[in-house]
Structure 1
């Protein structure tokens, strides 16, 4: 059975951008939640449990989108996407054990400058002047917020967070390209199921289990529920559907607002102090987003005749901006 079908109509393009923005708000607060949760459950186990529960929940909700998906192409795409997603979150979570939630958020956001250049390598699509200019502004803003003025050294946690940005950039491109062939919601289900299995396997092989008493704590279970239902389930539906309709470089810069909300959450919940230097960094990042939104976009590759359906609605290939 074919895993794609002809689409008929779409939402306005700004709605898909609002989906990405909503995901960034939830993810921003997830940095603080993850910081608390990883103190109880080690990184690979935490990501494994989080992803597997999310995958099972989404499989129950979106089971119709899995029809006809038990074939090598669909399963292979889900495994590849699940692997790169697990690596991104696992490396990020390892980094979070050795840095602050705000700094982890902003260093993760450097994926937005990697995406256009990674596209250049895999799709021979040269970055535009706007991509380069927005990337420079974004890097400057991230530097003002996350790099200490008196030292230029980078700790282990920061290095791991920068590495995770490479995997997040690869994930964004993979989602945007694979969703042109496969049902985006069915793909998201496999993304989490495979990612969860990889996390549990790695965790069982390399990490000690903290014990039932620790994971049965009410605060930990509440944090896990936030991560599974909101930060994973809801956010990845919003992101994957949004990225299927928004150009990769532009979408990555919109998603970089996650870092701003991460610092806001750290300020509100952890008492982090916002300095004038940090405020200037925020302003530069918003300028980068604005440049990306207002500048002309390069012509997108020709869309296939059939694309994956979105929840409740279906899109026309020509509607992709």
Structure 2
């Protein structure tokens, strides 16, 4: 009678390894997504065009995946996913625009700072006050940002693109905090479908208003494939992988692996010749990366939906 238990243990171990590999794959694809965005930008695609293509493709693919589940879609799911889609659109839109004014590495590492912003968003919206340890790690991230933007002989050069990337990190933190409050008891795939669909509708509306004066010259041959990659892989596949993977591994391990996104984005950027490998990039990027990892590793409660974590009071009204 004891024979099935070792087999069950091996199956659980294999599932956990698969889940952790899946989270790492998500981080790699997200990191490469910064390069895909840059390729689309270099081809002349505007931010609204990239966003509309990205989320329309992702929404169509998610709809195909979720067709058997649509009968379980509730009004509350529409409200939850709709607001999440607004945050998601804002985060990705500012990220795309920021890449037009700053480097891929700056954008990647500043986006990764959303992990240390989440506790402060939760606190501002009625959650628990961050610990001294969290404050210390935030200071480390700020120091890393300072190193990233320090140019020898010129001083600090925190430009418009860096500011937009940091704003995007705040919006990603709002998105994470909101989903952590509203996802409990809901189907994550349906919520993902609604949020991606909402982001697609907003993107199309912004595109209509943005392109009122006529579309710019675009090299579609060079720009279309990166946009398709962003929709099919960086959005649809990654959110599906993350949803499945986090059922078979701890939130802390998943967070640690997913937080390597900024590192992979910078590695791809340097390897492909988009920017040189400088001392400032190494030191600032390493400091941000280590602080993000420590926050994930040492946190007392995991991010995202958890029965042990009380949602922010603000979200009860949404």
Given that 1:107 and 1:142 are in contact with CA atoms closer than 8 Å, whether structure 2 keeps it comes out as: yes
Shift of 1:194: 0.9
**Deviation by residue 1:237-294 (Cα, 9 ceiling, x = unmatched):** 234556687559x866654422111111111123422123322334324432443354
Match of 1:231 in 2: 234
Residue 119 (structure 2) aligned to one of 107, 116, 120: 116
Shift of 1:64: 2.3
Given that 1:188 and 1:240 are in contact with CA atoms closer than 8 Å, whether structure 2 keeps it comes out as: no
Match of 1:219 in 2: 222
- TM, length-normalised to structure 2: 0.79
Distance 1:178 1:65, change over 3 A: farther
Instruction: Please identify, of 261-270 and 232-241, the stretch whose mean Cα deviation from structure 2 is larger.
Output: 232-241
The structure whose residues are more often helix, as a share, is 2
- TM, length-normalised to structure 1: 0.79
Shift of 1:31: 0.9
Match of 1:6 in 2: none
Distance in 1 (alpha carbons) for counterparts of 2:176 and 2:215: 33
Q: Does 1:160 align with 2:153?
A: no
**Deviation by residue 1:147-172 (Cα, 9 ceiling, x = unmatched):** 43433242222221111111010111
Distance 1:190 1:295, change over 3 A: same
Unaligned runs of 5+ in 1: 1-9, 305-321
Distance 1:195 1:290, change over 3 A: closer
Unaligned runs of 5+ in 2: 1-11, 309-318
Q: Does 1:210 align with 2:241?
A: no
Match of 2:186 in 1: 182
Given that 1:52 and 1:196 are in contact with CA atoms closer than 8 Å, whether structure 2 keeps it comes out as: yes
DSSP-derived class of the 2:151 partner: coil
Given that 1:17 and 1:246 are in contact with CA atoms closer than 8 Å, whether structure 2 keeps it comes out as: no
Q: Does 1:29 align with 2:40?
A: no
Given that 2:40 and 2:226 are in contact with CA atoms closer than 8 Å, whether structure 1 keeps it comes out as: yes
DSSP-derived class of the 1:38 partner: helix
Distance in 2 (alpha carbons) for counterparts of 1:130 and 1:176: 22
Match of 1:7 in 2: none
Instruction: Please identify, of 45-54 and 58-67, the stretch whose mean Cα deviation from structure 2 is larger.
Output: 58-67
Distance 1:246 1:126, change over 3 A: farther
Given that 1:98 and 1:157 are in contact with CA atoms closer than 8 Å, whether structure 2 keeps it comes out as: yes
Given that 1:28 and 1:261 are in contact with CA atoms closer than 8 Å, whether structure 2 keeps it comes out as: yes
Match of 2:57 in 1: 53
Residue 264 (structure 1) aligned to one of 242, 264, 267: 267
